[in-house]
Structure formats: C-alpha cells, structure tokens
C-alpha cells in the first residue's frame, strides 16, 4: 500500500519538473514535501499543490512564508491549486496550462505586492535546499552547493553567450593573462574556468550599474565544487534581475584589469580566493591555479 504522503511527494516532484520547464529562465522551482515552491527575483514566491483544494494551497503558502521568515525574508507567498476540471482564477489553475496561468497571475500581482529581489530569493532557495547562501556586495548573492545533489542548472545559454561577447569586446581583440598563461574570452566566460572569479570580483566593483539603476537590481550566482574546474568551483546557476546589471560590472572589471598594455586577471583570482577564505570554503585550488591553467588544455 502506498501512503498518502508518498503519493503527494511523487506528485510534487513531477509537478516541479513540469513547472521548471514551463516557467523557464529566471525561476527556481523546488519540490517541498506536499507542495512545490516557486521563486523569482522580481515576481516573488508561490506555493503550488497538486490538487484542486485551495485550502491546502493556502496552508502551503503559509508554510513557505514561514520558511522565508526563518531566514530573514519577509514576503507573503502566493498560493495555487491545480485542477484538471475546475478553474477559479487566479488561485485554482488549469493543469493543462498551469505554467502559463501561474506566470500570468504572479506577473499581474507583482505590481501590488511587496518588492522581492535576488538576494532574498537566494536565502529562501538555500533554506529549501539546506544550502549556505553568502551575501555579496551591492545586492548580490552567491549560493554555494556542497554535499548535496546538484540542482538543475539555472543558466540561460544566451546569457552566457552575451557575457562572452562582453568580455571579447572589452579585450578589444587582445588576450588576457592569468599567472603568466594567456586566456581568451571563452576561457574567461567559461563556467568551469574563470567565470566564478569574474562574477565574484565584479560584484565588488559594480558602482556604475548601481548608480544607473538607482541602487536596484542584482544577480544570484550558484557555485558548486568541481574537481575538474580550474578554480575548484564552477558556476552552476546564474539569475539576473537585468542582463545589463551583470554586463556593466564585467566590462568595468575587464577594462580595469589592463596593466602596462596587457590585461591581467591575477587580481580577479585573488579576490575570488579571499571570498572563499572569508566564507570558510576550500581555496586550495587557487594556490595551484597556474599549473591547472597550463595543463587544462
């Protein structure tokens, strides 16, 4: 005999997988026992239950709201129930189009609901995953996964391509150097190469976009330990409130790394090493980065 709890958990896992695909870039979707937690840096939080019982959905939202409060995030979660037959907008949505209905309802409600942001989302996602979240300057955050199964990558391939283009244009056709080894734009923007250091260092220096956005915006970086990555960590997720607010600090960082007619990223790696040490993370790979870069290709 299968217990009711087992059925609910299986249902939420399937629903989470479907919603993750349907909602797409920018959303983090996690099964959380009897409900699915949905988070977006601009649209906020929502709890979705695999039944048409709105009372259950409201209870799930209360649980998600309490979880957020436990990590210092005050934000009332929205609630959604899913039905194959009954539709009561906006709270009971159609199973066949639940992603569209939920996205539409969250987008409409965001204009009148409290503000949400990437650092707040990072804290809630970390609580759901029982993973540490680290604050970065200027409204950014880094979520470090360790000892747990890796979550599905939350990186838009187009965003990665645009980051590489930004780096390429900033270099102006020249190469850059890391401890005496030349690297190109694809290396610098590589998720398992220099991108972890690039994003962490950029977060310390992004005065220009902060001023331009009147202090609003930010990005969430997910770092995962990887023995094959040059710096010991890879970027496994990147959520941005606006692409511009990650492009500008990267361009600024690259341009400021020009020393004596050449681009040197030694300082960027050193910033990343300090970040790891400050948060009691393994920085052993950094000391050997010149050897790893030289032998990586």
How does pLDDT run across 166-217, given as a tens digit for each residue? Answer: 999 999 988 899 988 999 999 999 999 999 999 999 887 765 555 555 545 5
Return the minimum-mean-pLDDT range out of 86-100, 162-176, 247-261, 282-296: 282-296
Q: Are residues 162 and 259 in the same domain?
A: yes
The predicted pLDDT at position 154 comes to: 62
Residue bearing the bigger pLDDT, 260 or 294: 260
Scan for tokens 């391509």, then name that residue: 161
Q: Are residues 164 and 107 in the same domain?
A: no
Going by C-beta distance under 8 Å and a sequence separation of 6 or more, which residues neighbour residue 294? Answer: 181
Q: Are residues 290 and 143 in the same domain?
A: yes
Please answer whether residues 271 and 197 qualify as being in contact, where contact means their C-beta atoms are separated by less than 8 angstroms.
Answer: yes
Q: Are residues 184 and 117 in the same domain?
A: no
Range of the domain at 20: 4-129
Q: Are residues 39 and 145 in the same domain?
A: no
Please answer whether residues 76 and 65 qualify as being in contact, where contact means their C-beta atoms are separated by less than 8 angstroms.
Answer: yes
Q: Are residues 117 and 140 in the same domain?
A: no
**Does a cis peptide bond (omega within 30 degrees of 0) precede residue 285?**
no
> Which of these three, 81, 112, 129, is where a domain ends?
129
> Which of these three, 98, 129, 160, is where a domain ends?
129
- The first and second tokens of residue 141, run together, are 């955050």
| Backbone phi and psi for residue 232, each to the nearest 5 degrees, phi listed first | 85, -10
Instruction: Output b/e per residue, 166-199; b: 16+ Cβ within 10 A.
Output: bbbebbeeeebbbeebebebebbbbbbbbbbbbb
Domain count across the chain: 2
Query: Does the pTM exceed 0.75?
Result: no
């Amino acid at each position: 005999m299968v217990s009711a709890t087992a059925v609910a958990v299986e249902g939420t896992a399937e629903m989470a997988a479907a919603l993750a695909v349907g909602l797409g870039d920018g959303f983090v979707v996690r099964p959380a026992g009897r409900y699915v937690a949905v988070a977006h840096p601009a649209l906020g939080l929502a709890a979705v239950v695999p039944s048409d019982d709105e009372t259950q959905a409201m209870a799930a939202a209360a649980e998600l709201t309490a979880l957020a409060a436990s990590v210092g995030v005050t934000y009332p979660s929205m609630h959604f129930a899913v039905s194959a037959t009954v539709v009561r907008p906006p709270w009971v949505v159609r199973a066949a189009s639940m992603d569209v209905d939920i996205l539409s309802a969250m987008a409409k409600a965001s204009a009148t609901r409290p503000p949400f942001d990437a650092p707040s989302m990072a804290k809630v996602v970390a609580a759901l995953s029982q993973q540490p979240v680290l604050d970065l300057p200027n409204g950014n955050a880094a979520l470090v996964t360790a000892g747990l199964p890796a979550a599905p990558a939350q990186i838009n391939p187009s965003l990665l391509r645009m980051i590489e283009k930004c780096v390429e244009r900033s270099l102006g056709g020249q190469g850059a150097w890391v401890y005496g080894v030349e690297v190109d734009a694809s290396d610098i923007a590589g998720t398992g190469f220099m991108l972890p250091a690039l994003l962490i260092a950029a977060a310390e220096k992004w005065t220009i976009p902060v001023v331009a956005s009147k202090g609003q915006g930010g990005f969430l970086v997910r770092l995962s330990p990887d023995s094959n990555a040059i710096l010991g960590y890879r970027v496994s997720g990147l959520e941005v409130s606006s692409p511009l607010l990650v492009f500008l600090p990267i361009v600024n960082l690259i341009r400021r790394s020009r020393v004596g007619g050449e681009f040197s990223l030694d300082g960027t790696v050193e910033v990343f090493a300090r970040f790891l040490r400050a948060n009691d993370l393994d920085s052993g790979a950094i000391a050997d980065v010149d050897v790893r870069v030289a032998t990586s290709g």
